[in-house]
Structure formats: structure tokens, C-alpha cells
Structure 1
Amino acid sequence: MNVSPRSTTSRRAFLGMAAALPSLAVLPGCSNGSQRHRLTLASGPVNGPYAIFGKRLADVLERRGDGITLQVRTTSASVENLRLLGSGQADLAMGLGDSAADAVVGLGPFPTPQPVTALARVYLNYTHLVVASGSPVRKVADLAGRRVSLGAEGSGTAVVGERILAAARVSRPVRPSRLGLDESVKALANGTIEAFFWSGGVPTSAVAGLAQRMPIRLVPLDGLAAELSRAHGPTYVGVSVPAGTYGQRAEVPTVGVPSYLMARPGLSSTVAYEVTRAMFESRDNLPGPESPGAYLDERYAIGTGVVPLHPGAARYYRSVYG
């Protein structure tokens, strides 16, 4: 499906719109524990990067004593998370930027627009297309007719994988599997699949662990970010996995997609402000990728494209920018 690229909104416009909305100054009663805010965060698979980030954020919030308790719910990740957020079954959610943009406007896996907002652009994900080092697959087109894991059902990885296959104009359909990261790693190791997609920070520990057990290779995805942006909007950027990340000698061009921390629009503005503030003030205690990608940097955090910032988050950024 080809969609006209979505227009982006400037930092000034985001903060200006949010400034017109009311927000509370304090969390009433939080200092003495008389009022608590219990939130649910839709994260990702058990032991995955989103779930680990969510657990660390929950620990940070608990230690701060601001009256905010965070329950982390494991999921298949982005698409499921955004559906939970849109239906009000989650207060916060992790999600890939392209899936979040689809949710806002009602495209792809979202038949209607979802009521979702963003607290921050957290970090940049790198799309991995992993094969055994001896595989004949040298480019995406070589996947035609092969057994490929596109990512877990309901994950942002699956969305990216399907779009990459379409953008590369693979001549014959792949033989798809819907496996999460750990299952994909096991399946490649035992030969039941020939390749798998993964979208995450670099290095991703599960992929690095696989590289220690068997020689692997990343298939280059150069040029595809521009094609994806033309078809689906400007969320996609061209990036490279640094040399040596998984033992490879040279950097590997690929497609970058940002991860957002999302919130339901009805979340208290003050609670959203406090969660955003806690995240940035405690960034050294939160797990993030080692590669470049502006991890939890206020200068880039509001770059969420068509996904509107929550007013509470915008108030935090105004306090930082002055």
C-alpha cells in the first residue's frame, strides 16, 4: 500500500500547541503518599529491550517517591501496545515510530485512528536482517521463496519487515514465520529458517549472543529507507550498524526507526510531566543502545513527527528549553 508521506510538525509548533492546554503544577498529596497514581505500561516480550526498559523505569519511579507506581505488562510489542493504549487498557506504551504514526492516522494495522500521544523519542532502532554467514542471501531480493521470520505477530518488527520486502520488490513471496526475537535466534541456529528481521538497538544482546555461537551476517538494506519514506512517511532514516558490532569488519547500511514512549491522551498532564522528568533525570539508570542515536536527549526527544506530544511532556520540554 502506497501512502503519501506524512508532513512533520516543528518543535515550536508542538510546544506552542501544548502550551495552550491546562496542566497541574503538582501531584497532590504525593509527597506524603496520600494519593498514588497506578499506571500500566505495555512493553514487549519478556526479557526484550522494551520490557527491560519498562522495568527499570518502574524502579526509577518507585524510588523517587512521587506517588507513581508503574506495572509493566509484557506484550508482542509495538502494534499490540498501541492498540492497548488506544483502547485505554494501558496508560503508557513503547512503540516504533512508524507504527505510532500509522496509529495516529489510521493506516496499516490500524483501521481507524487511535487516540495516542508521545512522551518522548527514546532512541533509534536499527533494522537487522540476519542470516548465517554462509547463506547465499546477499540482498533482500535473495529472500524470494525462502523461510524468513518477519517478527512476532503484533510487533513493529513485523511491520518493518513486510514493508522492506515490498520496497525491495522481492520477485516471489517469502515463506514467512511469525517469531519473536528469541524464537528467531533459535530457529536460525537450528536451520528451520534462513533469515530473520529484528528492529532494536545495537548491539542487541540476543543477536550478539547468536554471533558468539555461530558465524552470522547482516544483509545490507542500503537505499531502502528512502523508498520506505516515500511510501509510508518520513519516519525511516538511513543509518549503518557500526563495524565490529556483531564481528563484521565493515559497517552495514540499514533502516533506522525511532522508538517512542507513548501515553494515552487522557493521562493526567501532571503525571505525564513527572514520568517524562523522571525518565530524563534518571537516564543513566535506564538501559539504552550503545550505538549513536540520540538516546534520551531532550534535543531530539520531541521529534515524534505526526504523533502529538502529550501536554505534560511538552511542559517538561518547555522547562528544559526555557
Structure 2
Amino acid sequence: MLHRVLMLALLLVLPASAQADNYSIGTGGQSGIYYPFGGALAKVWSDKVPEVNVKAEVTAASVENTIKVVRGDMIAGIAMGNVVLDAYKGEGKFRSAMPVNTLFALYPNLVHAISLENSGISSLADLKGKRISLGAPASGTAVTSAALLESIGIDVKKDIKAVYLNYSETTNALANGQIDAGFIVGGQGVGAVTQVALTHKVNIIPVSAAESAAFIKQHPAYSSYTIPADVYNNVGAVATLSVWNVIVVSAKMSDEMAFNLTKAAFENMTEVQKVVKVAEATTPDNAGRLEGVPLHPGAQKYLDSLAK
């Protein structure tokens, strides 16, 4: 009888504790860098933070991750800094200010506006009237590409034939002639661009100095960046834009949880670097790279402890 009572007690307790301890980190599509980065971070957190079990969740990326973090559906999300800044201010895709903080910045995302070499497209202005993938719906890529085109006078609803595809869908559609160009905003060496450049002669459309300056003035989360030659097969150095990715969390997260997640991440970043090379940029010195959105007090406490 006692044995049965104990078993019943365990059955009642286990589901609740399992549910309380399981979390997810929002990433992106499986052909980008967010997913493996999030998976590596999830493993570190699961292994090193007591009573925390985290899995990487495939999502539409930045906007979705930011919303789900605020709703409490995720413990954290990877997102582009401009999207998190918009959420914090209640601008862009966000109708009102959202209670978001960051734990730390990850690495810079680069704007890849890609076309095939024989397309005749050599500038952003040439995209007018063309079939363009602006990125997956509710992604940072879609936010950035639309804003960039609008900044040079191209109305994405009237002046182009816009479609919304994720990284791999974009490069497949480009290779198959279904679109003329597409945007991928991802880390240097992002897999989808690397792969299509191995099988097709691709062109990464430059962002001119004047276009870059005008865009940065409107969107201060960005900076100019030059992709070095030969990062992608047979592609020379290209001037473009960059924006830092961050770990976004709810401002309501406890200080203890934020401290523990940040501490575990930085003390085990070499494990993440084995999975994603861009994690070499994820350092305490770069943690506050996104200006305008506060670091979570718990994350700041950990960073302050390093200075002592």
C-alpha cells in the first residue's frame, strides 16, 4: 500500500517539475547560423545551469523570438539588434514598447543581397521591378531588406514582386530562376550563401557608401562592413551593412537566472565555438554592443564581476 502511495506521489510530482524545468531558445531556420548557435548554447545551459533543460526551437527568427520571449513561451531568443531595439521602443513591427532586455551580443549579421552573376543586377537600384525574396515572414531579414529598399526609394509593395522565403528557400528559388535576387541577413560565411556559391556564379550586390550612410542615419543599430574576398566562392570583397545579433530575454526574468545563463555561456563559449566559428565574437567585451536596449541586471552583474 505504501509502495502504491509513493508511486502515485511520484506520478503527481514528476510532470509538474519536468514542465517547470524545460525551456526553449528561439533560433531560426535550420540553414542559417541561429539554429546551430542556439543548439550549442542550449547544451551549455542544460549541462551547466542547475535545474534548467533547454532545447533549440526552429522559428521564423527575430520578430517571432522577441514576441515569444515576452509572452513567456521561451527562456531566450536569438534576434537581430535592430528588431530588439524596435521592440524596446515600440516601433516597426511592434505597436507598443515591449519589456525586453539582452543578456549579451553574439556576432554581427551581414546583409547579403544576392543575385546570379548573369542577372544584370549590379546595384540595389537595379532591383526595381524584379522578383525579390525579402526573407522569411517575421524575420529580421525581412525587416532589414524592406527598410533598406525603402531607404533608396523602392516601395516593396509597388516597385518589386516581393516573396517571403527563408534562407534555403531563397537560394533554391534563385538557383531555379524563380526569383531575380534575394536577401539573406546572416553571419559571415552563412551556409545558404556558401552552398549556392559552390554551384552557381553568384553576385553579392554592394551597398554603396552613400546608401550605407543614409541607412545608418535612419537605423543607428547598423554599421558599414566589408565582406572580405573569397569568403564565398569566386566572390570578391563587397561593401555592405552589419548589425549585431543578441540574446533577447524578458525584462521580467529573475536576476539569478540571467546571471546564471550569462555566466555559463561565457565560461563555456569554447564549446559553442566548436559548433559555430562566429561565436569567436561572443565575448564579454562585446556583450553590450547593442546600444539603446539595456542589458538585463543579472547579466550586468556577471559582467561587473569580471572587472573586480
Return 5+ residue gaps in structure 1 as ranges.
Answer: 1-32
Structure 2 letter corresponding to 1:210: V
1:320 is aligned to 306
Residue 277, structure 1, aligned to residue 253, structure 2: no
Name which of 205, 211, 221 aligns with 2:197. 211
Structure 1 letter corresponding to 2:213: A
1:225 deviation in Å?
Answer: 3.1
Structure 2 letter corresponding to 1:129: A
Secondary structure of the corresponding residue to residue 313 of structure 1: helix
CA contact under 8 A between 1:164 and 1:228: conserved in structure 2?
A: yes
Paired with 1:290 and 1:42, the residues of 2 have a C-alpha distance of: 20
1:76 deviation in Å?
Answer: 0.3
Structure 2 letter corresponding to 1:97: G
1:22 is aligned to none
Secondary structure of the corresponding residue to residue 286 of structure 1: helix
User: Which of the pair has more CA radius of gyration?
Assistant: 2
Paired with 2:61 and 2:238, the residues of 1 have a C-alpha distance of: 25
Residue 44, structure 1, aligned to residue 28, structure 2: yes
1:196 deviation in Å?
Answer: 0.5
CA contact under 8 A between 1:202 and 1:289: conserved in structure 2?
A: no
Residue 109, structure 1, aligned to residue 93, structure 2: yes
Residue 253, structure 1, aligned to residue 234, structure 2: no
Structure 1 letter corresponding to 2:194: A
Q: Do the aligned partners of residues 290 and 251 (structure 1) sit closer, same or farther apart at CA in structure 2, a change above 3 Å counting? A: farther
Q: Do the aligned partners of residues 249 and 143 (structure 1) sit closer, same or farther apart at CA in structure 2, a change above 3 Å counting? A: closer
Name which of 128, 134, 144 aligns with 2:118. 134
1:306 is aligned to 292
- TM-score norm. by structure 1 comes to 0.84
CA contact under 8 A between 1:157 and 1:198: conserved in structure 2?
A: yes
CA contact under 8 A between 1:222 and 1:255: conserved in structure 2?
A: no
Secondary structure of the corresponding residue to residue 134 of structure 1: helix
1:55 deviation in Å?
Answer: 1.1
CA contact under 8 A between 2:202 and 2:235: conserved in structure 1?
A: no
Paired with 1:47 and 1:190, the residues of 2 have a C-alpha distance of: 18
CA contact under 8 A between 1:147 and 1:175: conserved in structure 2?
A: yes
CA contact under 8 A between 2:33 and 2:191: conserved in structure 1?
A: no
Provide, for residues 96-134 of structure 1, a one-character-per-residue CA deviation record: whole Å limited to 9, x for no partner. Answer: 000110000001100111111100011001110011011
Provide, for residues 144-191 of structure 1, a one-character-per-residue CA deviation record: whole Å limited to 9, x for no partner. Answer: 000000000000000100011011223861110100001001100100
Q: Do the aligned partners of residues 249 and 263 (structure 1) sit closer, same or farther apart at CA in structure 2, a change above 3 Å counting? A: closer
Which structure exhibits the higher relative contact order, with contacts defined as CA atoms closer than 8 Å and separated by 6 or more residues?
1
1:37 deviation in Å?
Answer: 4.2
1:88 deviation in Å?
Answer: 2.2
What number of residue pairs does the alignment pair up?
Answer: 288
CA contact under 8 A between 1:121 and 1:258: conserved in structure 2?
A: yes
Secondary structure of the corresponding residue to residue 43 of structure 2: helix
2:3 is aligned to none
CA contact under 8 A between 2:30 and 2:58: conserved in structure 1?
A: yes
Q: Percent identity, please.
A: 30
Paired with 1:44 and 1:249, the residues of 2 have a C-alpha distance of: 26
Q: Do the aligned partners of residues 163 and 135 (structure 1) sit closer, same or farther apart at CA in structure 2, a change above 3 Å counting? A: same
Residue 85, structure 1, aligned to residue 69, structure 2: yes
Provide, for residues 219-275 of structure 1, a one-character-per-residue CA deviation record: whole Å limited to 9, x for no partner. Answer: 00122332122223x101000111101124531000001100011112121111111
* Aligned-CA RMSD value: 2.2
Residue 120, structure 1, aligned to residue 104, structure 2: yes
Q: Do the aligned partners of residues 268 and 186 (structure 1) sit closer, same or farther apart at CA in structure 2, a change above 3 Å counting? A: same
Paired with 1:269 and 1:236, the residues of 2 have a C-alpha distance of: 29
Name which of 8, 20, 43 aligns with 1:59. 43
Structure 1 letter corresponding to 2:246: Y
1:86 deviation in Å?
Answer: 2.0
